[in-house]
Copies of this chain bind each other. A is one copy, B any other.
């Protein structure tokens, strides 16, 4: 049985440099077959590293299930948590066709099944399928726009605004619910928001006292999304 690579409904706005699987839609039968014969799956436990920054980019990876965090590691400083990946996100990475190195690490935050496709096969699709190339460019561009937003959030906003952005991102884009339970630690949330874990805890407490959110351990509930949006806007 051939597993579907992606469905119409799977198209994701979320991507690590790379892309959601819309990219696979334009492949012809033969190309799809090529992916299926060469690909292999790997199971990762929560906490395990799927991609290590600096390592060779040999495969394009897409997530079958589970969730992973994308980290910009920075030797002496704290990591920057760029985004959360989940099915149907595809991981391409900016080293693609450049120096074939990884510029981020990707670490499972839940038990995660990932599917590996030889990067040369992927490259071949770009060369032989112009719609595939255009789609890839669009998805790279989408990632750019998101990075711009991240840059704006992290450099122009104060802690309240940055944490609001993180909470809204988790609620809107990742868990798709006003109420969610996360496997992210307070440190992860801090690294997403460019704060210390202590500041995350304090700011969450403030939000809680103001009735904007409710938290209990790893459970979050957004009570006043409008206020959160307002905090995000005001910075």
Interface residues of A (CB under 8 A from B): 17, 72, 74, 76-78, 80, 94-98, 103-104, 123, 126-128, 130, 133-134, 136-138, 140-145, 147-148, 150-152, 154-157, 194, 233-235
Contacts and interface: CB of A to CB of B under 8 A. Distances in A.
In the complex, the count of this chain's copies comes to 2
B137 A137 contact: yes
A128 B136 CA distance: 15
Contact of A133 (B72, B133, B144, B148): B133
Report, nearest first, the 4 A-B pairs whose CB atoms are least far apart: A94-B144, A77-B156, A133-B133, A94-B141
Contacts of A151: 72, 80, 147, 150-151, 154
Nearest to A162: B155
Contact of A144 (B136, B144, B235): B144
Contacts of A72: 148, 151-152
Most chain B CB within 10 A, of A17, A138, A151, is at: A151
A148 B98 CA distance: 15
A125 B60 CA distance: 26
B130 A17 contact: no
Given A80-B152, A130-B127, A155-B194, A97 B141 contact: yes
A94 B145 contact: yes
Given A77-B157, A77-B235, A123-B134, 12 more contacts: A76-B235, A80-B151, A94-B145, A98-B138, A98-B142, A103-B144, A103-B148, A126-B130, A127-B133, A130-B130, A133-B134, A133-B137
